[in-house]
Amino acid sequence: MRLSENLTVKEVTKSATAIKHGISNEPSIEHLENLKAIAENIFQPARAHFGVPIAVTSGYRSQELNKIIGGSSRSQHSKGEALDLDADVYGGITNKQLFEYLIDHTDFDQLIWEFGDDQDPDWVHVSYNRERNRGEVLKAIRTKGKVHYEFY
């Protein structure tokens, strides 16, 4: 099933961890509606703008899967509202270019520069809420083994 022209449900639900542990990672109808919204309003505009593939390294996570990987109990991934995108997987653009495009051209809930350095994040986390988007831009930093977020 396609969520947008260039994104499928399979791409946003595939998880090696879920397969390894025999966990279902099937989204509900509400989660599918959220995934379709983020695909149409965030992923597809970026994909169309750059004209190159953009990898989804983490999409939907069932509550059970999210718990196994140590995700936050409030994770928007478990609601179908978040994607982790990595432009480096296929090349053609950088994660920084993707991040800057999303800031300037999309209505997002959260956009997070995930680790990396000042030149390029390791990946880009973006979320979209069908009811209201906060437009919050953050940077994830690891200090002494702990992750914290600061405003970008």
> What domains sit in the chain, N to C, each tagged with a CATH number?
2-151 (3.30.1380.10)
Residue 152 DSSP SS3? coil
Q: Is the whole-model pTM more than 0.85?
A: yes
| Pairing, β 123-127 against β 136-143 | unpaired
Mean pLDDT of the chain: 97
Contact indicator for 38, 80 with CB cutoff of 8 Å = yes
Q: What is the predicted pLDDT for the residue at 36?
A: 98
Expressed in angstroms, the distance from the first to the final Cα of the chain is: 35
